[in-house]
Amino acid sequence: MRARFSVIAVFAAFLVAAPAVARGAPESFADLSQQLLPTVVNISTSQTLKPSQRNVELPQVAPGSPLEELFKNFSGPKSNLPRHVTSLGSGFVIDPSGYIVTNNHVIEDADQITVMLNDGSSLPAKLVGRDDKTDLALLKINPRRPIPSAHFGDSDRARIGDWVIAIGNPFGLGSTVTAGIVSARNRNIDAGPYDEFIQTDAPINRGNSGGPLFDMGGNVVGINSAIFSPTGGSVGIGFAIPSNLARDVINQLRQFGQVRRGWVGVNIQPVTADLAEGLGLPGPVGALIGNVTPNGPAARAGIRTGDVITAFDGKKIPDARTLSRTAAGTPIGKTVTVDIMRNRRPMSVRLTVQRLADPPAKPQRQGPPAKPRKTSQLGLSLSPLNGSTRATFRLPGSIQGVVVTDVMPDSPAEEKNLRAGDVIVAVQDQMVRTPEDVQRRIDADLRSGRKVEVLLVNRAGALTYVALRF
């Protein structure tokens, strides 16, 4: 009886699921592999390290110690000679004339780049251009005759569960084919500002970097770039740059030798659930403006700190990373409509996108904490900005507000990573100049029943919103 029930249950489940008929696994990947293997290449690079680049201070060992024999090989007369370092990776041909796509980290700092074609022939390669923000690079070889090439597909059409195959040069073994499925999409692994990786369980190992991820139509839907692995080998979690992101980058590298990205002149941050509640927003959607560059496109359009961008050039903005990618991919000089929420009211502005220039990195400035004067219910010890606190935390005169001098353990402030040297500029969009200003605002919000306090914080010159729950 139990067996009969199981059969009926399975049959019923089949009937319910019948409208979503899944395609079965292919009988073989052989025909597709035979077609695509000639488009994939192995890449080897060499770099000459000068003694100053590789000198390491060795530990002192007593004469006759068992470690003496181990370390003497590193400190002999040859230590002052240059050393050649080689590395291996993968790539694929996108033009029969010899243009090849790979990862930037495969060829970065290389003195020489050599490409080995599938037929075993090797050719020197020239770097056309590279982009460290997306980890992509474009090479050029000069073959005697046209060579087989692959073409980019539409990565937006790759669905979770679709079959894919990866071809590359794992561990320097040579052209190797592996298969799997698309495990997830739009993964952010903090590799760069425009992360939206395709995750796959197709085995990817060291040396696969720069190789293609193909769909079952033979289209490149991703460039294999990273793995998550506690062992250094494949554990079924690999990441590929989507072809729709890579295509535009590669086209610009081919045309200009560099990538020209759009810029609107704002610093943005995600809208968390706490921030949405504190700002009176309907939900954690959009990109919150933390800072507006003076005289930049956003400033000229009237965008302000505290605005939340919900759409850009007709495209919905569900989160901050989507805005970064969308703005960067907008043609320079194009005027677009930007939808924002300001003080809980929707409005639209028009701005003209300019070209992004990489600014110099600003060093983090920290100093020893000053003596606390005032402690809030949020777990913050605060002091006014004066000559002493500015000197302690190296804060310029252009920064105004109240400086954090200490953060209590296990407090709401510690949970949100506030630290000594941060400057509170505003509380619930009200500017503050003294610890008493902060405390008065907090006391009033507690009396009114508010559960989340939103602070505008200046850290090393960058503004960001922080939501602290009472």
What is the structure's pLDDT at 263?
94
Q: Which of 107, 124, 287, 106 minimizes the C-alpha distance to 193?
A: 287
445 is catalytic: no
CATH of residue 124 = 2.40.10.120
Bridge partners of 335, per DSSP, are 352
Residue 208 assigned as binding residue: yes
What is the structure's pLDDT at 52?
53
Residue pair 288/268 in contact (Cβ under 8 Å)? The answer is: yes
What is the structure's pLDDT at 349?
96
Instruction: Name the catalytic one among 135, 201, 313, 422.
Output: 135
Q: Is residue 19 situated within a structural domain? A: no
Domain range holding 388? 374-469
Q: Which of the listed residues 236, 259, 282 is the one where a domain comes to its end?
A: 259
Residue 35: helix, strand or coil by DSSP?
helix
- The conformation of residue 152, written as its DSSP 8-state character, comes to B
Q: Are residues 232 and 161 in the same domain?
A: yes
Q: Is residue 25 situated within a structural domain? A: no
Distances (CA, A) of 438 to 45, 283, 380: 57, 26, 10
Q: Is residue 151 situated within a structural domain? A: yes
What is the structure's pLDDT at 172?
85
CATH of residue 337 = 2.30.42.10
Q: Is residue 13 situated within a structural domain? A: no
119 is catalytic: no
Q: Are residues 336 and 200 in the same domain?
A: no
Residue pair 158/212 in contact (Cβ under 8 Å)? The answer is: no
Q: Is residue 11 situated within a structural domain? A: no
What is the distance between the alpha carbons of residues 142 and 134, in angstroms, rounded to a whole number?
A: 26
- Given a cut of 70, the residues of the chain with pLDDT beneath it are 1-24, 49-85, 358-376
149 is catalytic: no
Alpha helices in 234-289 (DSSP H): 243-256, 273-279
Q: Is residue 20 situated within a structural domain? A: no
40-51: per-residue pLDDT in tens? 999 999 877 665
Instruction: Name the catalytic one among 44, 87, 90, 105.
Output: 105
Alpha helices in 302-433 (DSSP H): 320-328, 387-393, 412-415
What is the structure's pLDDT at 4?
41
Q: Are residues 248 and 150 in the same domain?
A: yes
Alpha helices in 179-287 (DSSP H): 243-256, 273-279
Residue 367 assigned as binding residue: no
Percent of the chain as helix, strand, coil, to the nearest 5? 25, 35, 45
What is the structure's pLDDT at 440?
86
Q: Are residues 118 and 209 in the same domain?
A: yes
Residue 207 assigned as binding residue: yes
Q: Which of the listed residues 243, 259, 275 is the one where a domain comes to its end?
A: 259
Q: Are residues 388 and 413 in the same domain?
A: yes
Q: Are residues 94 and 233 in the same domain?
A: yes
Q: Is residue 368 situated within a structural domain? A: no
Q: Are residues 49 and 148 in the same domain?
A: yes
Q: Are residues 150 and 96 in the same domain?
A: yes
Residue type, 436: E
Q: Is residue 204 situated within a structural domain? A: yes
Instruction: Name the catalytic one among 87, 175, 183, 209.
Output: 209
361-398: per-residue pLDDT in tens? 444 444 444 444 445 578 888 889 888 788 888 888 88
Q: Are residues 415 and 334 in the same domain?
A: no
Q: Are residues 113 and 207 in the same domain?
A: yes
Q: Are residues 339 and 419 in the same domain?
A: no
Q: Are residues 397 and 464 in the same domain?
A: yes
- pTM as predicted: 0.68
Give how many domains the chain has, as a whole number: 3
Q: Which of the listed residues 355, 388, 409 is the one where a domain comes to its end?
A: 355
What is the structure's pLDDT at 193?
81
97-134: per-residue pLDDT in tens? 999 999 999 999 888 999 999 999 999 999 999 999 99
